[in-house]
Amino acid sequence: MADLITVLGGKGFIGGHLLRHALAMGHDCWAPDRGDSDIFQRDLGHVIYAVGLTADFRTRPLATVEAHVCLLHKLIEAGNFASLTYLSSTRLYAGAPSTTESTILRVNPHESGDLYNISKLMGESLCLHCGRGGLKVARLSNIVGIRPDPDIFIDQLLEEGCRNGHVVLHTSLESQKDYLYIDDAVKLLLRLALSEQSGIFNVASGEGVSNREIVGYLEREMGFTVSVAADAEGWDFIAVDVGKVRSLLDFSPQPFAHYFPQFLRSYRQKKGWT
For every residue of 196-214, DSSP letters joined together read S--EEEEES---EEEHHHH
CATH number of the domain enclosing 97: 3.40.50.720
- Helix, strand and coil percent figures for the chain, each rounded to 5: 40, 20, 35
Asked if 267 and 146 touch (Cβ cutoff 8 Å), the reply is yes
Q: Answer yes or no: is 273 within a domain.
A: no
Domain of residue 132, residue span: 4-143+180-203
pLDDT at 1: 64
Report residue 25: phi and psi, to 5°: -85, 0
Distance CA 185, CA 183 (A): 5
End-to-end CA distance of the chain: 44
Digitized pLDDT (tens) for each residue of the chain, 274 residues in all: 689 999 999 999 999 999 999 999 999 999 999 889 999 999 999 999 999 877 778 888 999 999 999 999 999 999 999 999 999 999 999 889 999 999 999 999 999 889 999 999 999 999 999 999 999 999 999 999 998 877 789 999 999 999 989 999 999 999 999 999 999 999 999 999 999 999 999 999 999 999 999 999 999 999 999 999 999 988 777 789 999 999 999 999 999 999 999 999 999 888 777 5
Same domain? 161 vs 213 = yes
* Cα–Cα nearest to 107, from 119, 124, 125, 89: 119
Inter-axis angle of helices 211-222 and 153-164, to 10 degrees? Answer: 40
* Cα–Cα nearest to 5, from 183, 192, 180, 133: 192
Same domain? 161 vs 232 = yes
Q: Answer yes or no: is 163 within a domain.
A: yes
CA 46 to chain centre: 19
Q: Answer yes or no: is 188 within a domain.
A: yes
Looking at the structure of the chain, the number of domains it has is: 2
Q: Answer yes or no: is 109 within a domain.
A: yes
Asked if 209 and 178 touch (Cβ cutoff 8 Å), the reply is yes
Same domain? 34 vs 136 = yes
Identify the three-state secondary structure at position 241: coil
Do strands 83-89 and 46-49 pair parallel, antiparallel, or not at all (unpaired)? parallel
* Cα–Cα nearest to 17, from 132, 183, 149: 183
Residues in the chain: 274
Inter-axis angle of helices 211-222 and 256-271, to 10 degrees? Answer: 40
pLDDT at 130: 95
pLDDT at 90: 96
Q: Answer yes or no: is 246 within a domain.
A: no
pLDDT at 271: 77
